[in-house]
Amino acid sequence: MKKIAIATTLAFMFTSTLFAEPNLQKNPEGLKKLAQMAGETSPYYRAKKEVFPKDYFLVSQNLPFLVGTALFHPDSKKLNLTKEQLEKLVEMKKTIVPQSAKMAKKVKEMELKLAKNILDTNATPESQAKLVDEIAKAKADMTKAHLNCIDTVKHLLSPEQFKTLLELASTKQRMQKAKAQQAQPQAKKVDMNSEGAKLFQAKCAICHSTSKPTDMSKVVAPAVMGVMNHVKMKYPEKDKAIAFMKDYVLNPSADKAVCMPQKIKRFGLMPSQKESVTEKELDVILPWMFDNFPPKGFIGMGMMHR
């Protein structure tokens, strides 16, 4: 199935260059696996969101991650990759991501151990020096491998392609694009007077907000735009998305969930709504949700490139 999916993507790549789009779509299952492998963050972690495994390189912020950019950046079709180039990048990803994740997991475990040791009355800076050196070496090894990866990509692409790739990877380019999006007219407001909207308000809105929450301490379930963002990543076709949602609302289970594992850990598994909403009502609510969410320009957690 994976070979078929890649072949389909490759075929599409060479038949459509009219619109800016990624060479490949991100696989939600792959993101889930990385999240599961990353595990819990330290209670002292200061960033808003951990980006695993990128956060655990020695140089995590000031070097580009080019394989991911070449494959998944929203404008990566601009690279005009050949079939051979794309196939090699896909193969690199299959090797690099597991290796990086494994090394990052090791670094993270050592860092968490370092943090845990501060509770040990017998621990001193001197006694922890060996562990610090091990962390430093592991991070340095990761960044050396990262530089080798960048060099491989550089020699795989033409000079013009590589220049374009660096532009796509740059923070400045992303900021300019974000400003341009903000300058665009606001997306059309959701019609909250439709039958679907009214039923959603009556049956679903007590937990799922239709706007971005301002006080996260009061949030009891993901907002509808986040829910639909994940649903559409896995089920882009409307009929399949609606069928999935109807089944999940009535018969939820963790193995069916399309959200990140930490969401279920935080909010718990949604209970069955069999006693709260009928299938007939869902036939009105779910198409409305699909048609209106997420709003144009929505960027969910973890969707931005670094």
What pLDDT does residue 188 have?
58
* Token code pair at residue 275: 């006693």
What pLDDT does residue 42 have?
84
What pLDDT does residue 19 have?
45
> Considering the domain boundaries, does residue 207 fall inside one?
yes
**How is residue 272 annotated by DSSP?**
P
Region for residue 268 given its phi and psi (left: phi exceeds 0; alpha: psi -120 to 50; beta: otherwise): left
> Considering the domain boundaries, does residue 298 fall inside one?
no
> Considering the domain boundaries, does residue 218 fall inside one?
yes
End position of a domain, from candidates 182, 209, 234: 182
Is the pLDDT reported for residue 150 higher than 50?
A: yes
Section 61-66 average pLDDT: 94
Section 24-37 average pLDDT: 86
How far does the chain reach from its first CA to its final CA, in angstroms? 30
**120 lies in the same domain as 232:** no
What pLDDT does residue 8 have?
40
Residue 152 to residue 93: CA distance in whole angstroms: 12
**161 lies in the same domain as 210:** no
Is the pLDDT reported for residue 299 higher than 50?
A: yes
Burial class (CB in 10 A: 0-12, 13-18, 19+), 68: buried
**40 lies in the same domain as 126:** yes
**41 lies in the same domain as 175:** yes
> Considering the domain boundaries, does residue 45 fall inside one?
yes
What pLDDT does residue 40 have?
84
Residue range 185-235, pLDDT digits in tens: 455 567 788 999 999 999 998 999 888 777 777 888 888 988 998 899 889
Alpha helices in the chain (DSSP H): 2-13, 28-38, 66-72, 83-117, 129-156, 159-169, 171-183, 195-203, 224-234, 238-250, 261-267, 279-292
**122 lies in the same domain as 262:** no
**171 lies in the same domain as 243:** no
Q: How far is CA 237 from CA 167, 234, 279, 290, 303, in A?
A: 32, 9, 20, 10, 20
> Considering the domain boundaries, does residue 146 fall inside one?
yes
Residue 111 to residue 118: CA distance in whole angstroms: 11
CA angle 155, 159, 160 (to 5 degrees): 135
> Considering the domain boundaries, does residue 305 fall inside one?
no
> Considering the domain boundaries, does residue 125 fall inside one?
yes
Residue range 161-180, pLDDT digits in tens: 999 999 999 976 666 655 55
**178 lies in the same domain as 199:** no
End position of a domain, from candidates 150, 182, 214: 182
**220 lies in the same domain as 74:** no
Region for residue 58 given its phi and psi (left: phi exceeds 0; alpha: psi -120 to 50; beta: otherwise): alpha
Is the pLDDT reported for residue 56 higher than 80?
A: yes
End position of a domain, from candidates 120, 151, 182: 182
Residue range 244-282, pLDDT digits in tens: 999 999 999 988 998 877 788 888 999 999 999 999 999
What pLDDT does residue 12 have?
39
- The number of distinct structural domains making up the chain is 2
**138 lies in the same domain as 44:** yes
CATH number at residue 213: 1.10.760
**57 lies in the same domain as 161:** yes
Residue 226 to residue 207: CA distance in whole angstroms: 13
The whole domain housing 68 covers 2-182
**8 lies in the same domain as 138:** yes
What pLDDT does residue 173 have?
62
**234 lies in the same domain as 109:** no
What proportion of the chain, given as a percentage, has pLDDT over 90?
54
> Considering the domain boundaries, does residue 26 fall inside one?
yes
Confidence of residue 97 (pLDDT cuts 50, 70, 90): very high
